[in-house]
Amino acid sequence: MFYSLERSISRAVSQYLLRQFEVEIPVVAEQPKQTSFGEVALPVAFQLARQLKKAPKAIAEQLATDLSGQIEGVAALEVANGYLNVRFDRGWYARQILTGHDQDTQEFSTAKTIVEHTNINPNKAAHIGHLRNAILGDTFVRMMKAMGTRVEVQNYIDNTGVQVADVVAAFHFLEKKSAAEVLELTRQPRFDYLCWDLYAKISQLEDGKQWRAETLHEIEAGVGPLSDMGHVVADAIVECHLNTMLRLGIEYDVLPRESEILHLKFWSNCFEQLKEKKAIYLETEGKNKGCWVMPGSAFRENAGEEDSKVIVRSNGIVTYVGKDIAYQLWKFGLLGKDFYYRESRTYPSGHRCYVSQSTPEGAEPVQFGAGSSVYNVIDSRQSYLQDVVAAGLRALGYNEQADRSIHFSYEMVALSPRTCTELGIELSEEDAARAYVEVSGRKGLGVKADDLIDTLTERARAEVDSRHAEKPEASRAIVAHQIAVCALRYFMLKFTRTTVIAFDLQEALSFTGETGPYVQYAAVRASKILGKIAERGETMPDFRAVLSREVFARVLENEDLWQLLLDISRLDVVLRSAVQSGEPASLAKYAYQLAQAFSRFYADFRVLDETDEARRTVLLWMTKYFAAQLEKTLATLGIPVPEYM
């Protein structure tokens, strides 16, 4: 609601300036330094001072005089230090919220935004680092959808890469397994855990490099027993990953696979375009002799020859970044080619997820890609490769698309030493003294995502059991899972993307402080207050019928209540800012502030015991609004609200 009125005020001032002075400038709204100055401050007089050759104070005073009483929802316009300060009409504002007139903040568009996230190599179980990627991506998708943006969620599957080749080589050369025998193993629980151990094992062997090269060649060719085994391994691991992510409420629209990029000649098409535009060249000497390379000057300032990036190796194998350029062209609908698709799964929500395939047999008539903007959720260590991909688009003349190709980067996830100890990870004295401990998949040091979720759920269950032993076991299990999901997602989201996270089990699950369960508990408590109305045999008032603008105005003369209402109603402003900055941490921070605001409200106002009928009704309505806004904020963060805690 706050953004709606703020936008109306800016629009009214802009129209006045155009009418009165024939000046067309953007009118920016700011938050005053002190609440006593009102709800919005407009620095527009400073913008106009030089142009109108008047002092800012004089301009602001003219604006206040001429616009007084002209803007709906505004009670007063005041001048302070050259600023035009705006005071909302409190009764009007609350009534607008009550009647649902604050729902116009969504700006629906036919343009489609593509968000690619998760993208785990299908060679072993997902780990804690993958969870940050998936949770950030999923939350950003939820934020944009809450703003009315049309979003397509992609999870790219690198099923022909070196990591898959490592595991296939381990099964073939170490375990002496056939593709049929590996297929049998996929039917066992925790197949992804088995592959985790094999990957760590072969990564330590000197022969592993030779075995990998042989395996990778056959997988990329798409023929032979090792290629068959590669499909078995990758397909099974993808299912494991999808199941893991679903535990956190994460779903996808489409799973484009690297094998189809090769088999459907996506890369061949892209390769010809790059050669035609002279974006790459064949190196004839030096260490890159026989390779097709992109000059470093295309993506780095002051780059030399040594900065050139190999796109196709001398043996004819295209590098990861080459395939990614082709994939990025497809995302923008610039390749002139498309995948065929079949259904991968239907989620419990009813949402269908599709996977690419290379032939039309059994394909469904669905289309993906051709987005107007693309966000690639990839860790910050891949910034260089993302620059190369964008340079590839520019070299082909697609400058606008390169500008709308956004690297949604983030830093790594480590573990606190305390959490390592709790999870049974042995640490050296040196590591135990560190602020955080880095994990490594190749070394087998890390926390599997499912293990982490299981541990969080078990600890949450112990807390739920101690508080609500009388509740049915199935109900307690659901609540424990909801708390675990909340603890994990909130911890991953509360830090800015540029911050290295040291995940700590105890901190994540705490019911006090800036944690998910604290915010979750505020939402549960708000609903509990409302539930007591029925327990007392009362019925909830008809708020629309009894809460008039005048009643609201009288009750909201209380400054504390008014400031609380403003806090609750700022979700639209925070959400818009979080989307524009690409920073889900802003929304997580707001959720915590909202929970703190409710705690103040709960402590300062005895809602059910209030004797003034009008005031009690307003307090009940505010409690309901608190609950709704908390639930809406948490839902956008991907966090469920339990029945009890």
pLDDT digits (tens, 9 = 90+) for 467-521: 999 999 999 999 999 999 999 999 999 999 999 999 999 999 999 999 999 999 9
Q: Which residues of 318-343 are buried (b: 16+ CB within 10 A; e: fewer)?
A: bbebbbbbbbbbbbbebbebbbbbee
Per-residue pLDDT at 107 exceeds 70: no
Is the model's pLDDT at 102 over the cut of 60?
no
What are the pLDDT digits (tens) for 18-28?
999 999 999 99
| SS3 at position 196 | helix
pLDDT at 427: 84
Enumerate residues 6+ apart whose C-beta is below 8 A from 170.
198, 199, 201, 202, 208
Whether 545 has a pLDDT exceeding 80, the answer reads: yes
543 shares a domain with 450: no
Per-residue model confidence as pLDDT tens digits over 371-383: 999 999 999 999 9
One domain for residues 128 and 234: yes
Is residue 450 a contact partner of residue 456, using CB atoms and an 8 Å limit?
no
d(Cα 388, Cα 341) in Å, to the nearest integer?
29
The per-residue pLDDT for 454 is 97
Confidence of residue 105 (pLDDT cuts 50, 70, 90): very low
The CA distance from 339 to 100, in Å, is: 43
Going by pLDDT thresholds of 50, 70 and 90, the confidence category of residue 527 is: very high
On whether both 451 and 330 belong to a single domain, the answer is no
- Residue-number span of the structural domain to which 607 is assigned: 512-636
Q: How many domains does the chain have?
A: 4
Same domain, 117 and 186: yes
482 and 494 together in one domain? yes
Asked if residue 123 and residue 79 are part of one domain, the reply reads no
Q: Is residue 12 classed as helix, strand or coil in its secondary structure?
A: helix
pLDDT attached to residue 587: 98
**Residue tagged 């209402």 (tokens):** 565
Q: Bigger pLDDT: 320 or 345?
A: 345
- 3-state SS assignment for residue 503: strand
Quick check: is 171 in a domain? yes
pLDDT tier for residue 431 given thresholds of 50, 70 and 90 = confident
Q: How far apart are CA 501 and CA 474, in angstroms?
A: 33
Examine residue 619 and state whether it is found in any structural domain, yes or no: yes
Q: Report the helix count and the strand count for the chain, using DSSP H and E.
A: 27, 15
On whether both 607 and 498 belong to a single domain, the answer is no
Could you tell me the CA-to-CA distances from 495 to 116, 404, 514, 564, 570 in Å, in that order? Answer: 21, 25, 11, 25, 21
DSSP string, 388-454: HHHHHHHHTT-HHHHHTEEEE----EEE-HHHHHHTT----HHHHTSS-B--BTTTTBS-BHHHHHH
**Domain assignment present for 642:** no
Identify whether the C-beta of residue 293 lies closer than 8 Å to the C-beta of residue 310.
Answer: yes
Give me the residue label for tokens 């035609």. Answer: 276
Average pLDDT over residues 18-44: 93
Residue 63 lies in a domain: yes
Q: For residue 220, what is the domain's CATH number?
A: 3.40.50.620
Distance CA 426, CA 444 (A): 13
Residue where one domain finishes, among candidates 481, 508, 535:
508
- How much is the pTM? 0.93
- Give a yes or no: residue 95 inside a domain: no
pLDDT in tens, 231-248: 999 999 999 999 999 999
Q: Which of 123, 30, 136, 51 is nearest to 587 (CA)?
A: 136
Residues 144 and 256 in one domain: yes
**203 and 328 assigned to the same domain:** yes
Final residue of a domain: which of 459, 490, 508?
A: 508
Average pLDDT over residues 64-76: 95
β-strand partners of 415: 437, 503
Q: Where are the beta strands (DSSP E) in 451-522?
A: 501-503
Pairing of strands 352-357, 340-346: antiparallel
Domain boundary residue among 490, 508, 526?
508
Q: Is pLDDT of 174 > 70?
A: yes
Query: What CATH number has the domain bearing residue 527?
Result: 1.10.730.10
For the chain, give the mean pLDDT.
93
Bridge partners of 84? Answer: 42, 79
Q: Nearest to residue 149, comparing CAs of 329, 408, 375?
A: 375
Q: Is 107 part of any domain?
A: no
**pLDDT for res 316:** 85
Q: Which has more confidence, 474 or 297?
A: 474
Residue 104 has what pLDDT? 47
> For 554-567, how does the pLDDT look when each residue is reduced to its tens digit (9 = 90+)?
999 999 999 999 99
Q: Single out the residue of 426, 490, 425, 455 nearest to residue 635, CA to CA.
A: 490
Cα 291 off chain centre by? 38
Residue bearing the bigger pLDDT, 183 or 110: 183
Q: Which of 551, 540, 514, 534 is nearest to 625 (CA)?
A: 540
| 618 and 553 belong to one structural domain | yes
Asked whether the beta carbons of 374 and 331 are under 8 A apart, the reply is yes
For residue 108, what pLDDT band results from cuts at 50, 70 and 90? low
| One domain for residues 518 and 501 | no
Within-domain flag for 170: yes
Same domain, 570 and 619: yes
Two structure tokens written together for 312: 């196709």
Q: Is residue 274 part of a domain?
A: yes
- For CA atoms 579, 582, 584, 587, the dihedral sign is negative
